[in-house]
Chain A
Amino acid sequence: MDFQVVVLAGGTSKKLVPLVSKEVPKALLPVANRPVLSYVLEQLELSNIKDLIVVVEGADTALRVGGWISAAYVDRLHVEVATVPEDVGTAGALRAIAHHLTAKDVLVVSGDLVSDVPPGAVTAAHRRHDAVVTAMICSVPVSGLSEAGSSGAKDKTKKPGRYNIIGMDPTKQFLLHIATGAELEKDTRIRKSILRAVGQMDIRADLMDAHMYAFNRSVLQEVLDQKDKFQSLKQDVLPYLVRSQLKSEILINGAPQGQQAKENGNDKVSYRILANASTPSFHELYALGPNGSAPVRRTHKCCVYIASNSKYCVRLNSIQAFMDINRDVIGEANHLSGYNFSAQNNIIHPSAELGSKTTVGPHCMLGEGSQMGDKCSVKRSVIGRHCRIGSNVKVVNSVVMNHVTIGDGCSIQGSVICSNAQLQERVALKDCQVGQGYVVSAGCEYKGESLARKEK
């Protein structure tokens, strides 16, 4: 297999506090009672990719993620867990594990992607065009994710549901323009030179970068080496490659880069690409040898793979997304969960105990060994393992993780209750997040708050 797969599992994302903690890194957040990372790994397994590198930020986290993987996939996948320092960014992470990468192409997948798009399709598109990079693009999810707390002012000025501005050629195969982050708030500037070369560019604001990329390995490494300030694949490396793809009047569609690759081998091509990018470090490159001084006009291809609308493709990168994904995986996109749904369209573990007159509606999940008292009602929610839930409890549109204790008469709406949390009697929560091990005292009512223990 000439493809290596890197799964960027990240660390403890600040956006997801208080859901994540040292004990539960982002990769292990439960989606329908399975760590989110398992969705990516299983998709990869389905595409028959069994050798992969999982990159984790921070040694503690790596230990936990590694432990879980080896337990869950011991005889199924060959996984190498690589540890990188925290906050190096996605580009930094790849830079740190560069020595592991040897194949011609590298598929980089974000560990928080919950999707049923086959990774094989992306790699195939990449190979077909012999592209430098191929990015998977999906439709913006229907429910807005952007309101989630900590990202703050930036999201408010943005119209909800805009993540990228993506320019493609009319055949929707090549990526001609991409704007992310702060650029979205400004007027969009499209380079005329590329438009002249292509003739027509379709600009879409309703698509987003799904954070699954296929890179030409040597090009990627060159870029990472040269641009030591690049931190993020999404915000730095990809836009850079897109920006510098056209250095000549040769149509990208007809660029002969593929042939050159065969003639000259990868390294030379990537040198050329970089030599022609008129980077500040041009002199260093020139010193590298005659290859660096190759003729001025070269192009490289940036491709896209657009996930069809029928596919599910969402990243777990905010609390709202966490809720949405949990709801979808046991609801509309239930084929992803890998469970068998009962006739009532829900999953109740055989070992779960339900009191009298307790109802569990469709699109619900009740984990192993959980107990519920009398006259409870659960709608569109996920309840983890070994939870103890009293009587007269209402759980609607919420996620309750493992080992949670909920007292009598509680009402939980649109909230997330993390593991080992305790809700005493008659607590009413609406749109709240309760952190790990937090105790909500009896009779409290909260709305839209984030409750967590102070970090020691």
Chain B
Amino acid sequence: MGAQKKRAAAATAAARVSEDPDDLARQPLQAILLADSFTTKFRPITLERPKVLLPLVNVPMINYTLAWLEAAGVAEVFVFCCAHSKQVIDYLENSEWFSQPNFTVKTIESHNIISAGDALRLIYEQNVIHGDFVLISGDTVSNMLLTQALQEHKERKKKDNNAVMTMIIKKSKPSPITHQSRLGTDELFMAIDPNTKQLLYYEDKADHSKGTICLDKMLLAENPSISLHNDKQDCYIDICSPEVLSLFTDNFDYQHLRRHFVKGLLLDDIMGYKIFTHEIHSSYAARIDNYRSYDIVSKDIIQRWTYPYVPDVKFCGNRATKLERRGMYRASEIEQSRSAQVGSFTVIGCGTKIGSNSKISDSVIGEGCTIGSNVLIEGSYLWDNVIIEDGCELRHVIVCDGVIMKAGAVLKPGVVLSFKVVIGERFVVPAYSKVSLLQQPTVHDSDEELEYADNSSGTVEFSSIQGTADQSNGEMTSESSEAHKPKLGTGGVGYIWSICEGGQEEEWRHSVAPIPEDKLAELSEAMDDDQELVTQDRTALSTSGELISDSNASEGDDNEDSKDDSVYFEKEVEATFLRAVEENVKVDHVILEVNSLRLSYNMTSADCAGAVFYSMMKLAVKTPHSSASELQQNTANIITTWQKLLKSYLLEIDEEIEIILKFEEMCLESAKEFSPLFARILHILYDKDILQEDAILRWADEKEGADESDKVFVRQSEKFVQWLREASEEED
């Protein structure tokens, strides 16, 4: 009924908006629901079933999202299916979603899609979105009212055509120790204009090594007042204008909604697209991103924060359960032994049997489970048809459909058992293990950036496995049980996935289990060190500027910066060059590399010429030689071999002069061995057409007025210069 009311409210709001003449041709509100998160955080479970169909308090996640969309006044939902699309489509077809009045669910299927960006591009091509739409992924639970956010969005859009997106945010302060929110997501730094609510800065995946947030000075110049937030959580519910889709098409490299799209828009000041935020206060919105959020959102549902989407209210596809005291929900047809204790905040599904002396608390038990006697279940999630034999212990674990735990088996906190795994008698599964019937894909995706690529290979690879698994379910299990019997104890079936390298450390972050105490202590200690480091940094930094008053200080800094830069640049070029010599890299490639260095350090071609020449000379000195003439020979050889490289930077006479000056500098400082050979090498350079006579003459002229000490080399090459002068005169 609540939903009915909300829908009515949404309808009146819609009516109000449509009175506006601009909006007469307004489309009913549409939504895009991504039924794939394009991540691998729920593996191994998601190898067999798509994430959106995983039960959350005994209801597939997608139902929460769809129910909310319906209540929020959305008329048409496009469900985008990618991984396991068939399962999703089958599920939806058999559900009541296709038969709702005033609410259309359409599916779009694609298999070769690896990111949200690709999905939106495909939807754009299909040309089905005609107006503002809600972008959401199928693992979001919410009960917020969209009306206000939608109206704000529309009004902004009317005033400013560039306001393309409204992001829903909610207050949630990350833990100061673990730097992650209670949902297990990384802490988020945002800068928001307090007046317009425009989003100005967005940093997730925070780089912990960087202790500061860097706000561009232009940002502050344009917005005299900015609020920086570390206490907000992104709900991953976005209200978008149709432009968003075309933006994804224009920027074909946008993959991730936040990392690419949001950051791309914030950084791009040419198009001037703007993103705004809408903060919700009393309603609920959360996305299930990892096991920890699965745990937290389940608890929120049981504690009724998500009303009306709670177990005892029928919203879609769930069976009515009865709410008893202390947050206990019990479905019908439960066989419970008298001596079994079911504690607070527990949901027990239909047809489940619980043996004597078993204790269950803070857990969700699915349908048709059989739990033996003397079993201890705490903070765990058991899905359907799980069989737990006598004397097992489960603490903070997820157990999927059809798992069998033989008597006396123990699951340590954080364990995830995928479908149909069998744990042998008295076997103890170590903490944070993931157990599946399927072998771990060989491709590791420890690197976040590679996630998309891996994911695609993962899905493809999976579908083949899935095929065989479906065909020969029984066979395969027996096969693998034989091969891996010792791993899961006597009678155990399944593989324990090895935790990918580097992940072990971080496993506790996203697990269903609460963070262990010792971890917290360790982290808070580490944080102290961080703190000190940061302050030390800062004090060191400031002392340099303390003495000099502001304007000087800034200039000094700048000079230092550029000086540093050129030194680094020189070093890089030298390293590149040496590598080229060692590995016999083609000249063209070296030129490419040096060019890219030049761009990244913002150097002129004269700098390049200088640096390349410097590295060549350095090489010549380093090549073993016994006499000056040998050194000269070496130099000549190197110059001959690499003259093309050097010449590509000698576009004008200035660069040639730069080379001579550089050479002079070297002879005086870093490679004094060259000083007696200066004139001769100058001659070689002239012979090889690297230096034109103009350059040499200009250099000689420039040096005319210099100090005596500066003129050493001009003297030395006097004869040569003289000869050049005469030659040119003769020509004239």
A residues with CB within 8 A of B: 152-154, 159, 162, 165, 167, 170, 180-182, 184-193, 195-206, 227, 229-231, 235-236, 239-240, 243-244, 246-249, 277-280, 296-297
B226, chain A: closest CB distance, angstroms:
4
Contact between A152 and B551, CB atoms less than 8 A apart = yes
Contact between B211 and A187, CB atoms less than 8 A apart = no
CA distance A192 to B553 in the complex (A): 25
CA distance A274 to B228 in the complex (A): 28
- The closest CB in chain A to the CB of B547 belongs to A229
Q: Which residues of A contact B551 (CB under 8 A)?
A: 152-154, 182
Q: Which residues of A contact B531 (CB under 8 A)?
A: 193, 246-248
B225 contacts A by Cβ under 8 Å:
yes
Contact between B554 and A185, CB atoms less than 8 A apart = yes
Contact between A189 and B212, CB atoms less than 8 A apart = yes
Contact between B543 and A229, CB atoms less than 8 A apart = yes
Contact between B546 and A231, CB atoms less than 8 A apart = yes
- Given A203-B226, A236-B546, A239-B542, answer yes or no on A195-B173 (Cβ-Cβ < 8 Å): no
Q: Which residues of B contact A248 (CB under 8 A)?
A: 528, 531
From the candidates A192, A198, A205, A278, name the one contacting B225 in the complex (CB within 8 A). Answer: A205
- The closest CB in chain B to the CB of A151 belongs to B551
Contact between A200 and B229, CB atoms less than 8 A apart = yes
Q: Which residues of A contact B546 (CB under 8 A)?
A: 227, 229-231, 236
Q: Which residues of A contact B532 (CB under 8 A)?
A: 247, 278, 296
From the candidates B174, B220, B231, B524, name the one contacting A205 in the complex (CB within 8 A). Answer: B220
CA distance A195 to B220 in the complex (A): 17
- Given A153-B551, A182-B554, A188-B220, answer yes or no on A203-B539 (Cβ-Cβ < 8 Å): no
Q: Which residues of A contact B554 (CB under 8 A)?
A: 154, 182, 185-186
- The closest CB in chain B to the CB of A159 belongs to B221
From the candidates A195, A230, A235, name the one contacting B213 in the complex (CB within 8 A). Answer: A195
Chain A to chain B contacts (Cβ below 8 Å), 19 pairs:
A154-B550, A162-B220, A167-B228, A182-B550, A187-B215, A187-B216, A189-B215, A190-B215, A191-B212, A192-B230, A196-B187, A202-B194, A202-B228, A203-B226, A243-B538, A247-B531, A249-B524, A277-B539, A278-B532
B597 contacts A by Cβ under 8 Å:
no
B224 contacts A by Cβ under 8 Å:
yes
B530 contacts A by Cβ under 8 Å:
yes
B175, chain A: closest CB distance, angstroms:
9
Q: Which residues of A contact B430 (CB under 8 A)?
A: none
B143, chain A: closest CB distance, angstroms:
25
B359 contacts A by Cβ under 8 Å:
no
B177 contacts A by Cβ under 8 Å:
yes
Known: A192-B210, A195-B213, A201-B228. 5 other contacts (CB 8 A): A162-B221, A186-B217, A189-B212, A202-B225, A277-B535
A334, chain B: closest CB distance, angstroms:
28
CA distance A195 to B210 in the complex (A): 13
Contact between A202 and B224, CB atoms less than 8 A apart = no
Contact between A192 and B206, CB atoms less than 8 A apart = yes
B189 contacts A by Cβ under 8 Å:
yes
CA distance A229 to B194 in the complex (A): 38
Contact between B534 and A193, CB atoms less than 8 A apart = yes
- The closest CB in chain A to the CB of B540 belongs to A280
- Given A153-B551, A182-B553, A205-B220, answer yes or no on A190-B177 (Cβ-Cβ < 8 Å): no
Most chain A CB within a 10 A radius of its CB, from B214, B219, B224, B527:
B224
CA distance A197 to B535 in the complex (A): 15
Most chain A CB within a 10 A radius of its CB, from B524, B527, B539:
B539
Contact between A249 and B527, CB atoms less than 8 A apart = yes
- The closest CB in chain A to the CB of B226 belongs to A203
B536 contacts A by Cβ under 8 Å:
yes
B447, chain A: closest CB distance, angstroms:
24
CA distance A278 to B194 in the complex (A): 35
From the candidates B211, B550, B557, name the one contacting A235 in the complex (CB within 8 A). Answer: B550
Q: Which residues of A contact B527 (CB under 8 A)?
A: 249
- The closest CB in chain B to the CB of A247 belongs to B531
B545 contacts A by Cβ under 8 Å:
yes
Q: Which residues of A contact B212 (CB under 8 A)?
A: 189-192
Contact between A197 and B176, CB atoms less than 8 A apart = yes
CA distance A203 to B221 in the complex (A): 12
Q: Which residues of B contact A229 (CB under 8 A)?
A: 543, 546-547
B524, chain A: closest CB distance, angstroms:
7
**1/0 contact string of B264-304 vs chain A (CB within 8 Å):** 00000000000000000000000000000000000000000
Contact between A189 and B176, CB atoms less than 8 A apart = no
Q: Which residues of B contact A236 (CB under 8 A)?
A: 542, 546
Q: Which residues of B contact A249 (CB under 8 A)?
A: 176-177, 524, 527
From the candidates B223, B530, B539, B557, name the one contacting A278 in the complex (CB within 8 A). Answer: B539
Which are the 5 A-B pairs with shortest beta-carbon distances?
Answer: A181-B550, A199-B231, A206-B224, A182-B554, A189-B212
Contact between B553 and A187, CB atoms less than 8 A apart = no
- The closest CB in chain B to the CB of A184 belongs to B217
CA distance A239 to B220 in the complex (A): 19
**1/0 contact string of B48-70 vs chain A (CB within 8 Å):** 00000000000000000000000
Q: Which residues of B contact A198 (CB under 8 A)?
A: 230
B176, chain A: closest CB distance, angstroms:
5
B227 contacts A by Cβ under 8 Å:
yes
A452, chain B: closest CB distance, angstroms:
23
Contact between A187 and B230, CB atoms less than 8 A apart = no
Q: Which residues of B contact A190 (CB under 8 A)?
A: 212-213, 215, 228
B179 contacts A by Cβ under 8 Å:
yes
B546, chain A: closest CB distance, angstroms:
5
Interface residues of B in 522-580 (CB under 8 A from A): 524, 527-528, 530-532, 534-536, 538-539, 542-543, 545-547, 549-551, 553-554, 557
CA distance A244 to B532 in the complex (A): 10
Contact between A278 and B535, CB atoms less than 8 A apart = yes
Contact between B176 and A205, CB atoms less than 8 A apart = no
- Given A190-B212, A191-B534, answer yes or no on A297-B226 (Cβ-Cβ < 8 Å): no
- The closest CB in chain A to the CB of B207 belongs to A192
**1/0 contact string of B639-682 vs chain A (CB within 8 Å):** 00000000000000000000000000000000000000000000
Contact between B535 and A243, CB atoms less than 8 A apart = yes
Q: Which residues of A contact B206 (CB under 8 A)?
A: 192
From the candidates B220, B530, B549, name the one contacting A203 in the complex (CB within 8 A). Answer: B220
CA distance A279 to B230 in the complex (A): 28
Contact between A193 and B216, CB atoms less than 8 A apart = no
- The closest CB in chain B to the CB of A250 belongs to B176
Contact between A206 and B225, CB atoms less than 8 A apart = yes
From the candidates B174, B187, B225, B524, name the one contacting A204 in the complex (CB within 8 A). Answer: B225
- The closest CB in chain A to the CB of B192 belongs to A200
B523, chain A: closest CB distance, angstroms:
10
Q: Which residues of A contact B545 (CB under 8 A)?
A: 182
CA distance A66 to B299 in the complex (A): 73
CA distance A231 to B221 in the complex (A): 28
B261, chain A: closest CB distance, angstroms:
23
Q: Which residues of A contact B538 (CB under 8 A)?
A: 191, 243
CA distance A159 to B220 in the complex (A): 10
A32, chain B: closest CB distance, angstroms:
31
CA distance A81 to B189 in the complex (A): 50
Contact between A189 and B231, CB atoms less than 8 A apart = no
Interface residues of B in 24-80 (CB under 8 A from A): none
B301, chain A: closest CB distance, angstroms:
26
Q: Which residues of A contact B191 (CB under 8 A)?
A: 203
Contact between A201 and B224, CB atoms less than 8 A apart = no
Interface residues of B in 373-392 (CB under 8 A from A): none
- The closest CB in chain A to the CB of B172 belongs to A199
- The closest CB in chain B to the CB of A190 belongs to B213
Q: Which residues of B contact A227 (CB under 8 A)?
A: 546
Q: Which residues of B contact A152 (CB under 8 A)?
A: 551
B539, chain A: closest CB distance, angstroms:
7
Contact between A203 and B225, CB atoms less than 8 A apart = yes
Q: Which residues of A contact B534 (CB under 8 A)?
A: 191, 193
- Given A195-B230, A277-B535, A278-B539, answer yes or no on A185-B217 (Cβ-Cβ < 8 Å): yes
From the candidates A180, A181, A196, name the one contacting B176 in the complex (CB within 8 A). Answer: A196
Contact between A199 and B530, CB atoms less than 8 A apart = no
CA distance A181 to B555 in the complex (A): 12
